[in-house]
Amino acid sequence: MMDNHTSIKYFNILAFSSKTEKQPLLSITFMMIYLIGVLANTSLILVSFLDTHLQTPMYFFLRNLSFVDIIFTTITLPKLINILWMGINTISLIQCFIQVFFFVFIASTDDILLSCMAYDRYIAICYPLHYHILMNWKKAVSLLGGTWMSAYVNTLLLTLNIYQIGICQSDKIQHFFCEIKALDRIACANTRLHPILYFEIIVLGFFPFLLSLSSYINIISVVFSITSTAGRKKAFSTCTSHLTVLGMFYGAGMCMYLKPPSEHLEEQDLVFSTLYTAVTPMLNPIIYSLRNEEVKVAMKKTIICIVH
């Protein structure tokens, strides 16, 4: 067990500096990113929930994505903002592992959820006449329930594995939160984490990515076979926002987790982690709002109702 070979009870999160110092400007920057993300995602949830035209499985998944993004940023950014503002960068062992658990849980959920959304768009465009049979509310709820449950089981097993390996090489975390690769560098049995991480990448990264990719390859082939320019444009308009979000999420995630472990890549890890955990969740609802006509119409209606 970990207690037999781990004496570290508190960690120092070094964030963006090797010294314990206040960084108010950086703290305000992340506070703005956090508040914009929470406000934008909350607005998208409310608008899609209140508008009767958006009561479809697609927007059901989208509401859950916005909810996941709110939790995603809440796991890491408030603690980071406090560290940068106060200059106090300590975190207890228990707090660190709680952060690890929820980060992996939400990241896994996000990953599988995006593939479910890609599959939903595939059915809607490739089999439009059978959409309400192939993707009804019962199946949508089952998909979502399976997503949350599989992410939870995976996260529980992974966190217990890391907990049993233990952390004893250093009390300094070269990151802005308790991130797995950063903990891997200071683990007692350093090499034991690598197979676990690669298994995670394959099962909950590569497979959902392949499902999303194959869905959009089929979607694009069907869209290009549409003879009507207006019909082609309409089909593309329903997918471009989700495709953009997919590109940002997987792009930042791959740059972060497909690189081999190296002390010389810590600064790159910080950049890609910031994109992955802070910027992307903030931009997701903005992209869906700007590139989706149905969402824009619903938002205009909601604003008019509030004003009047």
Amino acid (one-letter) located at 75: I
Q: Which two tokens stand for residue 63?
A: 């509401």
Buried b (16+ CB within 10 A) or exposed e, 44-55: bbebbeebeebe
User: Would you state the pLDDT for residue 2?
Assistant: 44
Q: How many CA atoms lie within 13 A of 39 on its CB side?
A: 6
35 is written with which tokens?
């508040």
Task: Say whether pLDDT at 303 is over 80.
Answer: no
Query: What confidence tens digit (pLDDT) does each residue in 67-79 have?
Result: 999 999 999 999 9
DSSP summary character for residue 277? I
- For residue 4, the model assigns a pLDDT of 44
Q: Which residue has the higher pLDDT, 89 or 6?
A: 89
pLDDT tens digits for range 87-112: 888 999 899 999 999 999 999 999 99
Q: Rounded to whole angstroms, what are the CA distances from 1 to 128, 161, 163, 167?
A: 54, 10, 8, 11
- Which secondary structure element, helix H or strand E, spans residue 81, and what is its range? helix 57-86
CA distances from 37 to 32, 71, 114, 155 (A): 8, 10, 18, 25
- pLDDT confidence tier of residue 235, bands split at 50, 70 and 90: low
Place of tokens 């953009």: 244
Q: Is 210 exposed, middle or buried (0-12, 13-18, 19+ CB in 10 A)?
A: exposed
The closest alpha carbon to 252, from 229, 267, 236, 271, belongs to 271
